[in-house]
Structure 1
Amino acid sequence: MFETRSRGYATDLMLASLDGYVSRGDGYFAARTPTSPSFWWGNFVLFSEPPRKELMQKWESTFDEEVGCTAGIEHRNLAWDSIDGDTGDADAFVAKGYTLTRDFYLFAEKTRPSPHHRTDLQIRPIEGDAEWARADEIAMESFCDEQSTPSFRRFLSQQASRYRRLVNKGFGKWFGAFSNDIMVASMGIYVRDNIGRCQSVATSPEYRRSGCCGTLVHAACSFAFEKMGAREIAMMADPSNPSLRVYQSVGFEIQERVASLSHSKTNCV
């Protein structure tokens, strides 16, 4: 695993390294995933310290030289290796058109059933084209709305294909929650060096707030602990996302508060 203060960001670097490249420079790690240039967390730079106004140009040139050289990159995504929410001089970047994003990394060494655990659901690794297509459909239902652009929908489909390739290479498993043989929720877990990372937890809209998400996360993580060699599992969550409480209800704890700066190059001032 990569030597960073943030164990959460180390898992982002791990995921990028599975089908891409991670290089180390003077005061930063650079991650590139040429097969998925629109995946911002597969194409980013993690700096060792929070942003400073006088280093803005250096940070941008570092990204452009290390990551932006990849065909299809139309963004900059800049993170820093702090776990206490320090944002440094982020306001100077925001004034130039960047978006400041705050996230939590949660960790668990074991999980427990949620208060709304569903014993009627079957949780298992998915298999076959039809089940992967259904998982892709659930992601579309969960993460898209009428304002979602065609490019974002293409990105989700590309990510679904990427997730499947990584499973086929033996890096992880994708899980489905089934109600009467119908997949109603899905998520992935990838493991390396005994550290697992959850990906794309999604529940079909009509099954939300019914215990499906918590049941899936607990069962999938239990599988990873028992059969995939994971000793600890990480996940990233938006502080404002209601699912945060679900993750906490099954045993995940907030241990890192991180921030990042990003923008589409076409929107750069």
Structure 2
Amino acid sequence: MQRKIEQNPGLATDLLLHAEMGTVSHDDRYIVMRTPEAPEYFFGNRLVLQRRPSQEDRAQLESDFAALVGVPPAIVHRSFAWPEDGTDEIGLDAFVAHGYAASVSSVLVSQRDALRPTATNNAVHVRLFDSDRDWADWVRISLSEMPDPTCEVSRRCIDYQRSAYRRLIDKQVGNWWGAFIDGELVGSLGLFFFGHIGRFQSIVTREDHRNKGVCRTLLTEVVKRAAGMRDRLVIVADESYHALRMYEALGFARQARIGSVCYAPATSPVDSVA
């Protein structure tokens, strides 16, 4: 199983990041991700599987999730991910019929110095986050990306992510960068390093500034200033995400896929910021 994960740079860097933010443990069947201080953080409390599950696996997976990750009232969701082989359509209708949300993400990789020249927005100023105000603005933008920005669970998940990312930065694992226009935060991303691999995290553009070259400018500048001699840069994005083509135009190529399913009570939002 470990070999399959290592061959998927998206899952491999997910686990490296999570090992710094929570706990990661292994057995013969699963990799167990837990975030004890944030039990409502769906994508930080999950089982990583060896392969795509079948409908016949569901009951056993739910039982194992309860034993290895947790049960209500602390853990009210069930979340599973796996390295997805091939490029075919993924049939998870049986899980969806039982209340699960299913998604497939593309793992995009750019080799060193492979980013292509692109038009940027001269009005965008790119710099490191350097104040509590920057992070407060990040919280507001991140909440707006959630299915229910007013939900208290959404607020707690975003607050946890802010604290976890700031701890990673304090440990000098990486940094958080912002795109500013006239002093206002309009986009941001994290970039964290593990040896010769750089992993982008939570790339977001404020909704009222999309299609203005903000993300292109931010990515281009951050790679130029921070990526250094890293051999590979990794982005993971949902295959329905509007920015996938832009990443490819910049020189990122789809190298792998990640499948996932998550069940959560109707009152709890599946966190969309990864």
Normalising by structure 2, we get a TM-score of: 0.85
CA shift in 2, pair 1:81/1:27, >3 Å: farther
The alpha carbon displacement at 1:250 in A equals: 1.6
Normalising by structure 1, we get a TM-score of: 0.86
Q: Deviations over 1:77-98 (max 9, x none)?
A: 1112223256777333223222
2:129 is aligned, of 126, 131, 145, to 126
Q: How many residues were matched structurally?
A: 263
Q: Deviations over 1:174-213 (max 9, x none)?
A: 0011223332211111112322221111222222111011
- Paired AA for residue 186 in structure 1: S
Identify the residue that residue 143 of structure 2 maps to in structure 1. Answer: 140
2:143–2:154 contact (8 Å) kept in structure 1: no
Identify the residue that residue 60 of structure 1 maps to in structure 2. Answer: 62
Identify the residue that residue 117 of structure 1 maps to in structure 2. Answer: 120
Higher mean displacement: 231-240 or 113-122: 113-122
Q: Deviations over 1:193-243 (max 9, x none)?
A: 3222211112222221110111111222333321xx632121111222211
The alpha carbon displacement at 1:114 in A equals: 5.7
Q: CA RMSD in A?
A: 2.6
Q: Where does 1:1-269 land on structure 2 (aligned, <5 Å)?
A: 3=3, 4=5, 5-68=7-70, 72-85=74-87, 90-109=92-111, 110=113, 112=115, 115-141=118-144, 143-144=145-146, 149-226=151-228, 230-264=230-264
Q: Deviations over 1:102-156 (max 9, x none)?
A: 2211111245366331234222211121222222223234x14777533223322
1:121–1:177 contact (8 Å) kept in structure 2: yes
Residue segments in structure 1 that go unaligned for 5+ positions in a row: none
CA shift in 2, pair 1:87/1:57, >3 Å: farther
The alpha carbon displacement at 1:265 in A equals: 5.2
| Identical columns (%) | 32
Residue segments in structure 2 that go unaligned for 5+ positions in a row: 268-274
2:55–2:95 contact (8 Å) kept in structure 1: yes
* Distance in 1 (alpha carbons) for counterparts of 2:125 and 2:233: 22
